Chain A
Amino acid sequence: MTGGTFVGMPAFPEAARAALGDTQLRHNLAHATHTIRDKRARVVAEVEEWEELRVAGTAVKEAALRDLATHLEQLEASLTARGATVHWARDAAEACAIVARVTHAHGADEVVKVKSMATAEIGLNEALEAEGIAAWETDLAELIVQLGDDLPSHILVPAIHRNRAEIREIFRRRMGDVGRPAPDDLTDEPSVLAAAARAHLREKFLRAKVAVSGANFAVAETGTLVVVESEGNGRMCLTLPEVLISVVGIEKVVPTWRDLDPLLRLLPRSSTGERMNPYTSMWSGVTPGDGPQEVHVVLIDNGRTRALADDVGRQALRCIRCSACLNVCPVYERVGGHAYGSVYPGPIGAILNPLLNGVSDPQTASLPYASSLCGACFEVCPVRIDIPSVLVDQRAQVVDSHRGDAVPKPEAVAMRATAWAFSDARRLRWAHRASGGAGRVLDRLGRTTLPGGRRAAGRLPGPGAAWTSARDLPAPPAESFRAWWQRTDGGRR
């Protein structure tokens, strides 16, 4: 896995078809997305100046991106001055190698991990395993995914596709293999399951020498890293081990300390639907006598400079990983995260994966089309990423990447023919005459009457079958609007 995509995943439409047939998944997702949607809506409605706050948050991230090199150099200097060691990694392999090297240097064969999208993106757990290092996920949802040999399906709640009964089964079956087993009387009550996770992980927190985290924000001016979390697993990892390695995407930088204000007001309400998340940790390098005394920060590119060069897509790097766009997306709600084939699912994943990785891979190239362009994602995005516009631009990049094909795709042929007809009204009239003729035939032959009395066109062959396999289609009328207008002089005759 590089650039966050799962190897061997089918393109979105096929993966979605399979997911749509999973009744348990559909039920779990509908419950979870509607729950979190309602919570978000309630706490956002409390903030009268929410739109101003979105504008302010957008401006902070945009300012950071537009002068990113300067801020990164400042971040490096601030961190170094505070006793941290700064590493740079061009890609996933370099980043993983740095983490493995530091871990080995301390003779450790395990690390405890704070939930982090960056480390999921670079496939750190698998890379460390290959180096003989066990990486223990400590976020509850990540633990569920790891114990279940599963893939994450949501940015905030990677196990959103699992319900309590499935989680109980995973804990009963797998906890004992890797540490303290689940208690015999484990029920499927969320509080009981959370208590089992607490007991299971505590021994790992208490003995771990090395921790790995990401960061939600990195302040250039002060060298402050910020981790926003709920369970306290983050605090455990950031506080108890002797060595802390934080893997941070270069787009996480914000220029100044004060810039945290709008972002800390936007993120929890957008993400978990809370006024504030239970725990936010902020630290800068080494704090003498408190917490890890050896601190490493790995700044990763891994496709980010590729995205940065994209004039339309650059805005996706403003993302603060709140996952509000997933929760409101009608497509995500029905197909879940696995169909996107990446640690970044949902609307943001549909743009971020092509931006980070390019569109040469057919699976990645299918993602910009995994949207009805309804715009619900843009409406909730706390940093105003215009996801629909980026999706449309990405689609153009997919089409452009095929312009040199020796044999054009049937879709390209159809689009060119349609565009040709639409480029001149006279051509359109011929097309209407043909469809009007077909309509007269279908009207006589059609065996289906639409509610209201109009005839249906029947089942179409070829690509039209994708429509009529589930939906009736009206038969074309005998006379188009323009033919009527010309025949009647706009109804005056």
Chain B
Amino acid sequence: MRVALLVTCINDALYPDTGKAVVTLLRRLGVDVDFPTAQTCCAQPMVNTGYLDEAVPVVRTYVDAFAGYDAIVTPSGSCAGSARHQHSIVARRSGDPALEAAVAQTGPRTHELSEFLVDVLGVTDVGAYFPHTVTYHPTCHSLRMLGVGDRPRQLLEKVRGLTLVDLPQAEECCGFGGTFAVKNADTSVAMGSDKARHVRETGAEMVVAGDNSCLMHIGGLLSRERSGVRPVHLAEILASTEDSEGRSDGPAVGARAGERA
């Protein structure tokens, strides 16, 4: 099985450790994951802001970069949702039947990380160790657009050393919403501050989710409040082991040392 990593534009530019964690994790599970360097972005920022014409070349880049892979794995429910549910809209807009045919191939092969682990690889115990108390926020697109259900929880429950505490009103949106976060910044922050409050109420050390975009928003508020609670991507927890935990250059805790390595 040829497996490609869709690292996503935001992880590529801002959260490279999440991408490294997926590579570490999948290799540990025996998957020789490739990173097609022609990839850029899933085009969701353009599509969700209404720029469909502008999204056409971006989707074209996507299908060209990932052509021929059996599975495309991404540490983002939102980007997986974009490929599966929105690329066809962009392709129709392009009027190019070849692009429509291409997205019909790449779309269904795009899997969010927890879906890939549980459904494609059939594992829930990935051999991870993470001795921290965390709370899980199901991001809207993974929850409602993809329907990942309890897969992330199944994976987290098998992590040694990890204590998972329930997040009150977990299924309510954090308020990120892509360009919503700046176009309607006040409303976005009002939603996010309630989410941050619920996170703090749990007493967890970290809030875990499958999307760094939502975590950037929730974490940005938690940081501004000097709450001492930090966001962590699911992939980084699952990549963490007894050997990597505590090391400043290991993928799981890389964020702790900044990106200076």
Contact = CB atoms under 8 A, between A and B. Distances in A.
A–B contact with Cβ pairs below 8 Å: the answer is: yes
B223 A451 contact: yes
A428 B58 CA distance: 12
A285 B68 CA distance: 64
Contacts of A399: 49-52
A12 B52 CA distance: 23
A207 to B, nearest CB: 46
B130 interface: no
B9 A374 contact: no
Contacts of A395: 48-50
A327 B175 CA distance: 16
Contacts of A452: 230, 232, 255-256
Contacts of B258: 443, 453-455, 475, 477
Interface string B56-100: 011011000100000000000000000000100100010000000
Contacts of A470: 185, 189, 192, 220-221, 224
A148 interface: no
B91 to A, nearest CB: 14
Contacts of A482: 7, 12, 35, 37
B170 interface: no
Interface string A49-85: 0000000000000000000000000000000000000
B216 A443 contact: no
Contacts of A369: 179-180, 183-184
Contacts of B46: 415, 418-419, 422
Contacts of B157: none
Contact of A423 (B57, B175, B223): B57
Contacts of B192: 470-471
B229 interface: yes
B101 interface: no
Contacts of A418: 45-46, 54
Contacts of B178: 372-373
Interface residues of A, number: 77
B182 A467 contact: yes
Interface string A264-279: 0000000000000000
Nearest to B39: A425
B223 A331 contact: no
Interface stretch (B17-25, B109-117, B121-129, B148-156): B17-25
A481 interface: yes
A474 B184 CA distance: 21
B240 to A, nearest CB: 14
Nearest to B43: A422
Nearest to A443: B258
B37 A485 contact: yes
A375 interface: yes
Contacts of B54: 415-416, 418-419
Nearest to B212: A474
Residue of A400, A428, A475 most packed against chain B (CB within 10 A): A428
A318 B228 CA distance: 47
B253 to A, nearest CB: 9
- Taking chain B's interface residues, is the majority helix, strand, or loop, or is none over half, making it mixed? helix
A374 B173 contact: yes
Interface in A462-487: 463, 466-467, 469-482, 484-486
Residue of A371, A400, A479, A480 most packed against chain B (CB within 10 A): A480
A472 B226 CA distance: 10
Interface string A330-365: 110011000000000000000000000000000000
A474 B49 contact: no
A400 B180 CA distance: 19
A12 B184 contact: yes
A456 interface: yes
A331 B180 CA distance: 11
Given A372-B175, A415-B49, A481 B19 contact: yes
Nearest to B52: A396
A450 B219 contact: yes
A371 B86 CA distance: 17
B119 interface: no
Given A471-B224, A477-B16, A478-B260, A13 B50 contact: no
Given A13-B184, A473-B220, A454 B259 contact: yes
A448 B222 CA distance: 13
Contacts of A396: 50-52, 93
Interface string A385-423: 000100011111111100000000001100110110111
B23 A490 contact: yes
Contacts of B1: none
Given A375-B144, A490-B35, A479 B259 contact: yes
Nearest to A469: B185
A331 B187 contact: yes
Contact of A476 (B13, B220, B227): B13
Given A451-B219, A471-B217, A479-B259, A392 B48 contact: yes
Contacts of A484: 16, 19-20
Interface in B204-261: 216-217, 219-224, 227-230, 232, 255-260
A372 B180 contact: yes
Interface in B128-145: 140-141, 143-145
Contacts of A394: 50
Interface in A153-181: none
Given A422-B40, A471-B189, 17 more contacts: A374-B140, A388-B145, A392-B86, A395-B50, A399-B49, A415-B54, A423-B40, A443-B258, A450-B230, A451-B229, A452-B230, A466-B183, A470-B224, A471-B216, A479-B16, A479-B259, A482-B12
7 contacts: A375-B145, A399-B49, A421-B40, A425-B37, A432-B12, A452-B232, A476-B14
For the complex of A and B, 10 pairs with smallest distance between CB atoms: A477-B259, A372-B177, A471-B220, A395-B50, A374-B173, A399-B50, A375-B144, A451-B230, A419-B54, A481-B16
